[in-house]
Structure 1
Amino acid sequence: MDAEAVASAVEETLAEVTRGALRGEGLAREELLALADRTTGGGKRLETLWGRMGLGALRGETQRTRRVEWWRRWRCRGGARAAGGDRVPRAPQPQASAAEGDP
């Protein structure tokens, strides 16, 4: 097997164990966290791998790389209501102008 095939097989195996740990399988969770602790300081590649696997979710951590614009979510879900129960009006969209010469 070449290095790429080995890396793919290992990543698939880790992904399956991670899914089991997230489903609540205690042994899978313990082993995965122990493995992650042993690889701490292993470089950016390992950090990225563990990030894709969802290690933060197993540890109860929030992803640091994820950006959420809460004000936009709040507005889109209708949480922003004006007095009287009306939604805050959306900003007007620019109208497409007719080409010159068209009636």
Structure 2
Amino acid sequence: MIDHVRPAQLSDWFAAAAPQSARAVVLDVREPWELQTASVTAQGFDLVSIPMGELQSRLTELDPARPVACLCHHGARSLRVATFLAHNGFEQVANITGGIDAWSLESDPAIPRY
């Protein structure tokens, strides 16, 4: 099942989803130019950047035992990636609803909007 989590609720989702031994992951699936434009800072989670188009060939870089919250610009690409992960054995998956745009509005106004 895929959870839908607003950026402001992400730390609560991590606390509920992550077993004590597994550090949560934010999987940023945006393109490199988007990362240069606006990026989040890993605080209480690990940040992994894999563009959506490369995910299938790089899936082994992710651990299905760790909770993964997927991030894109507004939430559409990340939802597709979250669905893909859920169909490939990842049990704790969330889509960050509203993407980095919402993250800027709700959690960190220093992140540029584009």
Question: Normalising by structure 2, what TM-score?
Answer: 0.24
- Identify which of structures 1 and 2 has the higher relative contact order when contacts are C-alpha pairs closer than 8 Å and 6+ apart: 2
> Which structure has more strand as a fraction of its residues?
2
Question: Normalising by structure 1, what TM-score?
Answer: 0.25
